[in-house]
Amino acid sequence: MSFRRSLPRALWSQLLWVGAAGWAFAAFVTERVLELRASPLRTVLLTLASLTVVAGASWAASRLSRSPLRWVPWLLLLCVLGRIWHRRVLRQGYEASAPLRTVGPSESLSRPITTTDLVLRYYGLSSNRISLERLRLVVLADLHITPALPADYYDHVFELVSAQDADLILMAGDYVSEAEYFDLAMRLLARRWPARFGTFAVLGNHDLWTDPARVRAALGSGGVTLVGGRCQDLPENLGRIAICGTEAPWGPELSSALDRSALNLVLSHTPDNIYRLAEQGASIVFAGHTHGGQIRAPGFGSVVVPSRFGVLFDQGHFRVEGSDFFVSAGVGADMPALRIYCQPEILVIDIARQ
């Protein structure tokens, strides 16, 4: 007996309406609403909107099940799936390369909870604008330091980063989750991140929504250079290399064109800045914010992504209008502190001299 036949018709209709309306709401609304500052007002508005969607769908299921409008939930599902399919087709045109290798716990259907299954993903690029034989970048995003994850997990992150013999460490924001966890976050951020030529960072939306001055101070005490809204040139003996950063739309943005004769490494917390940064002359852009979707379905991928581009740039290496673009699934997790079929990751990118 099929699942549908085992349920009363009315209940099946309600499940269909609520499921279709809920998914459409998540796909079309939350991608932009989540840009708004986290606050009790946002929580109340999202809660009220969600309850309205559920109540409206339940009412529609009871009143419209025998009218021509009974096909509306199927149309909603087709719209959402069509939108995802369209973005996945676009994604294929932007995909640049898979990792050269991945080191860490293997993915498994029998192990859906992957919150602390941290992996290292290695990529390779080349450039004629560096003087070194190889420039190694280690990229971190979305630590979301919180007691919900064990302290030794963050120690493991630091140990893995330390073992990579990095030339540069690039940090793409969201070091904290909530203001009440600041003391824990500050202690972890203040340690010295080991990189031969420096560690550079921008802030993410959660940092800017809590206490950006304290986050900047903690990073600074750990020897991290903040580049939000500006660029910093590296020593000339390394080549023509600039580290730049943008914290838009929540903080300072890069407002001027970049020197295209340099290798411009640009940090952007969100992937939503990629087209503007590519137009400005970014050579390589590094982003996080998406958490890789945080909850992924096997064989399907991410379901809801906090980006105006949805699943288009949820994680991976892309080539966008002449710029290499890396979106990290991040290290931590937030709202809730849980990952399903979505491993946390640290990116290691070796740039060889051409």
19 vs 132: CA distance, rounded Å? 54
Residue 291 in contact with residue 283, Cβ under 8 Å? no
pTM summary value: 0.88
DSSP class of residue 145 equals B
Number of helices and strands (H, E) in the chain?
9, 16
Q: Residue 245 — φ and ψ, nearest 5°? A: -150, 150
Q: What is the pLDDT of residue 1?
A: 46
Beta-ladder partners of 265: 243, 284
> Where, residue-wise, is CATH 3.60.21.10 in the chain?
99-353
Consecutive sets of 10 residues in the chain, 354 residues long: mean pLDDT of each? 56 79 74 68 77 82 78 85 87 96 95 97 98 97 93 94 97 90 84 94 95 92 96 96 97 92 98 97 98 93 87 96 98 93 98 96
Residue 280 in contact with residue 206, Cβ under 8 Å? no
Q: Strand 296-297 to strand 301-302: parallel, antiparallel, or no bridges (unpaired)?
A: antiparallel
Q: What is the pLDDT of residue 15?
A: 81
Cα of 88 vs its chain's centroid, Å = 17
List Cα–Cα distances, 168 to 87, 260, 284, 348, in angstroms.
Answer: 33, 21, 14, 10
233 vs 279: CA distance, rounded Å? 20
The CATH number fitting domain 99-353, selected from 3.40.50.1980, 3.60.21.10, 3.40.50.300, 3.30.70.3040: 3.60.21.10
84 vs 102: CA distance, rounded Å? 27
Could you tell me which of 148, 225, 151, 211 has the C-alpha nearest to residue 182?
A: 211
List Cα–Cα distances, 178 to 30, 148, 188, 291, 339, in angstroms.
Answer: 20, 11, 15, 17, 18
Q: What is the pLDDT of residue 47?
A: 80
